[in-house]
């Protein structure tokens, strides 16, 4: 049963021995992205279909007669027959995830590992990952939530999007080692809008370049002001993956920093681990050039997705930022501790310094410090704050915090 349907666009092959579930997945895909749909009832049929042409995405079940999903995935990866996979199975999630890791290690882009029944929400999230990675810069039609292009453009020109700054501290001696700049938008009518929402909207709508420029200007202004007050602050700045794949980005960014008379070593560029996945040639090239120009590069959100150790080694990074999912509650969870332990060892072997983010409890901080994490960041120490509050925090609150931690022990 190999069926070709619909018109041009993204091509999807659904492989499942249950005809009903296969149809269900095809129907959902058709509603979400349209494009060309193919179906197969097992691995052999899938390979026959792929022999007639590659597809963009394969949605694959694991348990199937004749040739199962695991074998199919490894064949498809070795012959480079699909770009990306979504693994869907009724098996337990840890098994599905480990097949995902395997596919990732084989070089496939894994958009998601899902447990059956397949829902529209889950599938949409996976397909969104693929679509946004393909989005031509400056012209996306992705989800904008309820932020309009006009709102965003006005906010950018009126500079009503601002930055807050969250301190990063060393675990040894709790010394102030810089801040991460985090975008904030207080909308006059709607109140606080999350950066994840408006940055996503700017990426989809093509305003991300203007927004990045505006945020950089604000953050560098704060840095200069702190310097005039006697505090030389290292700044971590988040970069959207869509900025990184613009071919002139490295030049543009470094020229702007040079023009502002700022030392590149004092600006760490944070890029999410997603940058390691999929088609990242240009992104990695820009990162390598930025490293050459002296900017430290941090892999953000490590542990929240599928980046493998091997992919990590390919990135010209100087720092690994361990995601809150691995950090939160580590004091009570032996499994998290084991993963963290090997992550920290790996990072140090790769010469990367480590930052644990999202530290909310003293117990977790203590475990992280004992494990050799270099830096910490989180609500336990400080929430992101406006620029004008930083000096007071460093001079008054931080010494109190150090004293409190000594008393705690
Ligand atoms: P991120 O880069 O992973 O930033 C860390 C997020 O964790 C921030 O959320 C921060 O406020 C929050 N956080 C820090 N400590 C804790 C903690 O102890 N517990 C908890 N629960 N959360 C903590 P925020 O500011 O809402 O930013 C969310 C995301 O939006 C950021 O995640 C980043 O991906 C994106 N973002 C924020 N500002 C920018 C920006 O200027 N440019 C770009 N491209 N992305 C940005
Ligand atoms: Ca970050
Ligand atoms: Ca992060």
3-state secondary structure 5-20: ECCCCCEEEEECCCHH
CA separation for the pair 332, 237 (Å, rounded): 32
CA separation for the pair 402, 5 (Å, rounded): 65
Q: Are strands 176-187 and 191-193 parallel, antiparallel or unpaired?
A: antiparallel
Pocket probe mutation, ligand 1, options 195, 209, 212, max atoms within 8 Å of Cβ: 195
CB atoms under 10 Å from CB of 318, counted, come to: 18
The closest ligand to the CA of 321 turns out to be 3
The closest ligand to the CA of 301 turns out to be 3
Q: In the predicted model, is pLDDT for residue 40 greater than 60? A: yes
Q: pLDDT-derived band of residue 93, with 50, 70 and 90 as boundaries?
A: confident
Q: How far from 51 is each of 39, 69, 234, CA to CA, in Å?
A: 14, 17, 53
The terminus-to-terminus CA distance of the chain in angstroms comes to 67
Structure tokens at 48: 């026959």
Identify the residues whose C-beta falls under 6 Å from ligand 1. Answer: 166, 181-183, 194-196, 199, 215, 238-240, 300-301, 324, 357-360, 378-379, 384
Helix (H) or strand (E) holding 392: helix 387-392
Q: pLDDT-derived band of residue 1, with 50, 70 and 90 as boundaries?
A: very low
Q: In the predicted model, is pLDDT for residue 223 greater than 70? A: yes
Query: Averaged over 18-36, what is the pLDDT?
Result: 91
Nearest residue by C-alpha to atom 45 in ligand 1: 238
Instruction: Give 56 Cα–ligand 1 centroid separation in angstroms.
Output: 31
No. of helices (H) and no. of strands (E), the chain: 17, 15
Q: Are strands 375-377 and 161-170 parallel, antiparallel or unpaired?
A: antiparallel
Shortest-distance atom of ligand 1 to CA 270: 2
Nearest to 211 by CA among 229, 188, 195: 195
Nearest residue by C-alpha to atom 36 in ligand 1: 195
Instruction: Give 165 Cα–ligand 1 centroid separation in angstroms.
Output: 10
Strand partners, 40: 15
Q: What is the mean pLDDT of the chain?
A: 88
Instruction: Give 28 Cα–ligand 2 centroid separation in angstroms.
Output: 33
């Amino acid at each position: 049963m190999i069926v070709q349907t619909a018109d041009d666009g993204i091509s999807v092959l659904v492989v499942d021995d249950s005809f009903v579930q296969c149809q269900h997945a095809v129907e959902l895909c058709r509603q979400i992205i349209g494009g060309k749909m193919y179906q197969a009832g097992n691995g052999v049929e899938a390979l026959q279909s792929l022999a007639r042409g590659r597809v963009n995405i394969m949605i694959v079940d694991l348990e199937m007669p004749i040739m199962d999903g695991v074998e199919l995935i490894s064949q498809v990866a070795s012959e480079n027959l699909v770009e990306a996979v979504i693994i869907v199975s009724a098996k337990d999630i840890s098994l599905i995830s480990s097949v995902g890791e395997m596919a990732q290690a084989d070089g496939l882009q894994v958009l998601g590992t899902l447990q059956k029944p397949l829902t529209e929400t889950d599938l949409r999230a996976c397909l969104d990952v693929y679509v946004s990675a393909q989005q031509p810069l400056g012209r996306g039609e992705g989800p904008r939530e309820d932020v309009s292009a006009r709102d965003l453009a006005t906010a950018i020109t009126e500079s009503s999007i601002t930055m807050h700054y969250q301190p990063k501290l060393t675990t040894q001696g709790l010394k102030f080692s810089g801040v991460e700049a985090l975008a904030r938008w207080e909308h006059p009518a709607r109140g606080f809008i999350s950066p994840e929402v408006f940055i996503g909207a700017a990426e989809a709508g093509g305003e991300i370049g203007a927004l990045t420029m505006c945020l950089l200007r604000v953050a560098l202004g704060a840095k200069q002001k702190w310097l005039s007050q006697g505090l030389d602050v290292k700044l971590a700045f988040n970069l959207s993956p869509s900025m990184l794949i613009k071919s002139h980005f490295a030049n543009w960014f470094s020229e702007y920093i040079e023009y502002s008379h700022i030392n590149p070593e004092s600006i760490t560029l944070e890029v999410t681990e997603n940058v390691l996945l999929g088609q990242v040639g240009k992104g990695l090239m820009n990162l390598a050039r930025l490293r050459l120009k002296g900017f430290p590069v941090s892999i953000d959100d490590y542990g929240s997705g599928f980046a493998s150790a091997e992919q990590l080694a390919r990135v010209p990074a100087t720092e690994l930022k361990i995601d809150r999912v691995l950090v939160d509650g580590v004091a009570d969870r032996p499994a998290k501790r084991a993963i963290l332990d090997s992550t920290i060892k790996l990072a140090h072997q790769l010469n990367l310094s480590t930052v644990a983010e999202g530290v909310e409890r003293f117990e977790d901080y203590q475990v992280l410090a004992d494990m050799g994490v270099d830096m910490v960041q989180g609500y336990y120490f400080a929430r992101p704050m406006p620029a004008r509050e930083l000096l007071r925090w460093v001079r008054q609150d931080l010494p109190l915090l150090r004293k409190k931690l000594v008393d705690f022990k």
